[in-house]
Amino acid sequence: MDRWVETARTASMEIKLRADAPVEERARWLLGFAFQDPNSLSEGDRLNLREALENFITPPGVSGTRILAAGVSLLPEEKIHEIQQWLRTGLAGLATQKRWSFKAATSVTLGLSPYGLRDFTSPAGTIPTAEAFRFRIFQVLRDAGPRFRLCSECQRPFIAGKGQEYCSTRCSQAVRTRKFRAKAKKSDRLPEQPPEQRQGGR
Ligand SMILES: [Zn+2]
């Protein structure tokens, strides 16, 4: 956990999430949000984060109820902080116990359309609440599940791109440097500069 906290400070996070983002992008955003330091955010960042949360809760293709448009915030600052802590604890449990059980109350809806049955569980007008957020976490992590990995260097969860082994360039570089030093020591030569970060490699 200590290492997670350390990573959080230096990891860059995309605060914005577009409304039509595909599931892997949503999952990546979610994990970034989990490790985001709320104290590092500017006023503008906070507004962007709130909008991103709203976009996260509302599935692509449906227009949700705008939190701000309603004039009342259903996800006030302390609530956002609370779900972030909850999310982080849950991910930590997932990393150590390989399992994460939580209650996410919702009513599910199947809709009959000309194309057959469709999942209308979070239809247009879904109100972005902490409860809805939990249920969306379940859906998004389930759907992005095959790409979900734990970084073997820092144990932090991440959504892996093709051939991606570590959560960040920082971790892959740390491993590369360590291997290089070990090799240099073995061959009894003075360590020179560690190899340069490969372009695009993570
Ligand atoms: Zn890592």
**How many other CB atoms sit within 10 Å of the CB of residue 79?**
15
Ligand 1 center–CA 110 separation, angstroms: 40
Ligand 1 center–CA 136 separation, angstroms: 25
Ligand 1 center–CA 153 separation, angstroms: 5
Ligand 1 center–CA 70 separation, angstroms: 40
Helix (H/G/I), strand (E/B), else coil: 19: coil
Ligand 1 center–CA 168 separation, angstroms: 6
| Residue numbers in the chain where pLDDT is lower than 50 | 1, 6, 8-11, 67-68, 124, 201
CB 140 within 8 A of CB 24: no
Residue type, 18: R
Ligand 1 center–CA 63 separation, angstroms: 35
Alpha-carbon separation of residue 167 from 19, 72, 94, 160 (angstroms) = 25, 37, 16, 7
- Crossing angle, helix 77-97 and helix 43-57, to 10 degrees? 60
Helix (H/G/I), strand (E/B), else coil: 50: helix
**How many other CB atoms sit within 10 Å of the CB of residue 33?**
22
Ligand 1 center–CA 194 separation, angstroms: 19
Q: Quickly list H helices, the chain.
A: 2-10, 23-34, 43-57, 77-97, 130-143, 169-186
What per-residue confidence (pLDDT) applies to 89? 95
What per-residue confidence (pLDDT) applies to 145? 96
Ligand 1 center–CA 166 separation, angstroms: 5
- Crossing angle, helix 130-143 and helix 77-97, to 10 degrees? 40
28: Cα within 13 Å, side-chain hemisphere: 19
What per-residue confidence (pLDDT) applies to 78? 86
The token duo for 35 is 């490790």
d(CA 15, CA 24) in angstroms, rounded, equals 15
* Cα angle, residue 105 at apex, residues 15 and 103 outer, rounded to 5°: 80
The mean of the pLDDT values for the chain is: 82
Instruction: Report if pTM > 0.85.
Output: no
What per-residue confidence (pLDDT) applies to 68? 46
Ligand 1 center–CA 6 separation, angstroms: 11
Ligand 1 center–CA 202 separation, angstroms: 10
